[in-house]
Structure 1
Amino acid sequence: MADSVLAPAAGRPSHGTVAGVLLDIDETLVDLEGAMHQALREVTAPYAALTEAGWTEFCLMFTRGSDDIYDRYVAGEITFAEQRVQRAERCLANAGTAFVDGAAALAWLGAYEAAQPNYVRAFQDVVPLLDALDAAGVPYGAVSNNVHDYQRAKLDTAGLGRIRVLVGIDAVGAAKPDPAIFREGLRLLGTAAEATVYVGDNPRHDVIGAASAGLRGIWLNRSGRALPEDVAGSVAEQITGLGELPALIGIT
């Protein structure tokens, strides 16, 4: 890890039972889906002539309809670049077209990798939350289902370089909801599981996964989605924005 281990939590200010906060990155701190949609439209236009509705369908299939492909990357079956190309190929096929050859696919990949970082932005409620945590003396960090260096660059690009504790799947060879990745976050943060909150947008990976490691999992439900029935009984707390978190954990 590039980040140093912080001092133990003993002696730090603790508000109620919360001594630390860990957060997911994509769709929690950073509007990755928005960045992906803008970059996809920019770089895929030479390969597909789509209506506005067609572009919406294309982008949503790439970001929300290809979890099975991304899961293969997380499992180590394909590379990060390969999962991107395979997702694009699926979306193009759905639109009735395809890359003409492997060279075209690689050209698309290069253009996408260059364009996407230009659109990465933090959600507007992130900096106020970090300000509140800093003011209260509550340490924080991020635990992500992507590799450390890629997510480090993403946070820095989004203006969130102040988040120094960062755990990626390469840190312990495990991904959420595996308890091991949360425990590495706790180790770097220097807080006990029972005194640490984890916030993320995925009820299974983030909330249930955090709870399996002994943390207090809170679901960030920005869009007001309904919980899947099979996990509804396992998610006790949810918020619609990060601005609700300080009051929920007792630091305001």
Structure 2
Amino acid sequence: MGRSIDAVLFDIDETLVDLQAAMGSTLQAVGAADLTHFTAADWDAYTALFAADPQGHYESYLAGRLDFADQRVLRLQHAREQAGLAPLDSDAARAWNDAYEQALPRYFRAFDDVVPLLDALDARGISYGAVSNNVHDYQRAKLDAAGLERIKVLVGIDTVGVSKPDPIIFHEGVRLLGAAPERTAYVGDNLRVDAAGAVAAGLLGVWLDRTDNPSPVREDSMPVPADVHTIGSLAELLGLL
């Protein structure tokens, strides 16, 4: 790798927390009564489309063009349209979002490889934290619900007023860890925003391309930059450090 690493920063969704699985469980919990005709394959496709957000509504939220609830409802409406379902009217959409927001935290779980890695980092004296493209308090509650209270350093988009891949948000995480960018690794499931963005900010960029659970935002058309490291699970990260 060519350099020593003193600290590691992580993305949260699909890196530490299995958000797609939580979304799938929540979509079923909230919509099962109205979608009794859905097969298991139908639910998988519905969840995958909702999580992937191909129309970029979450990006519009990050850019300030939508609020958080609106981007979620628009993702749902697109998934419903593709499944041949009628769109929800405004009242039904508001009620759906309220029910979804209430149910979702019950399903937050850390991936199986997270705690063993954090234990190993603790044993080696390597500090760690998280930098996320969501607001701090929402992601703090998510980490805690997933049993990851031990991750104390957390930077959200409201912390510095920018989102990844802006270098400022990476550098704030580095600063809070008391490290230097060139001695800090950043690990995330989004090749462009996380790994390539970290490299551009002077960090070691690590793309987590889970072998058994590909990210819903995987960009197959984007070549992996030569200065980005790729791992198939978090268990492989120690080999880079």
Q: Indicate whether the TM-score tops 0.5.
A: yes
Out of 217, 239, 252, the position equivalent to 2:231 is 239
Q: Partner residue of 2:6?
A: 19
Q: Distance in 1 between matches of 2:97 and 2:170?
A: 31
Q: Partner residue of 1:8?
A: none
How much does 1:248 deviate?
A: 1.7
Q: Partner residue of 1:57?
A: 45
1:46 correspondence with 2:33: yes
Distance 1:156 1:181, change over 3 A: same
Q: Partner residue of 2:144?
A: 156
Counting aligned pairs with the same residue, the percent is 53
How much does 1:55 deviate?
A: 1.7
Q: Distance in 2 between matches of 1:143 and 1:67?
A: 24
The normalised TM-score by structure 1 is 0.88
**Is the 8 Å Cα contact of residues 165 and 197 (structure 2) preserved in structure 1?**
yes
1:130 correspondence with 2:118: yes
How much does 1:109 deviate?
A: 0.6
Task: Give runs of aligned pairs for residues 1-252 of structure 1, distance below 5 A.
Answer: 17-48=4-35, 49-66=37-54, 68-223=56-211, 228-234=220-226, 236-249=228-241
Q: How many residues align?
A: 234
**Is the 8 Å Cα contact of residues 218 and 235 (structure 1) preserved in structure 2?**
no
Q: Distance in 1 between matches of 2:228 and 2:142?
A: 30
Secondary structure of 1:140's partner? Answer: strand
Q: CA RMSD in A?
A: 1.7
Deviations, residues 29-82 of structure 1 (Å, cap 9, x unaligned):
000000001111111223434233222221111001445111101111111111
**Is the 8 Å Cα contact of residues 207 and 235 (structure 1) preserved in structure 2?**
no
Secondary structure of 1:83's partner? Answer: helix
Q: Which residue identity lines up with residue 233 of structure 2 in the other structure?
A: G
Deviations, residues 83-107 of structure 1 (Å, cap 9, x unaligned):
1111111111222223452111111
Q: Distance in 2 between matches of 1:42 and 1:157?
A: 18
Q: Distance in 1 between matches of 2:93 and 2:105?
A: 19
How much does 1:17 deviate?
A: 1.1
Larger C-alpha radius of gyration, 1 or 2? 1
How much does 1:227 deviate?
A: 6.4
Q: Which residue identity lines up with residue 29 of structure 2 in the other structure?
A: E
**Is the 8 Å Cα contact of residues 203 and 231 (structure 1) preserved in structure 2?**
no
The normalised TM-score by structure 2 is 0.91
> For structure 1, which segment, 33-42 or 49-58, has the greater mean C-alpha deviation from structure 2 after superposition?
49-58
How much does 1:158 deviate?
A: 0.4
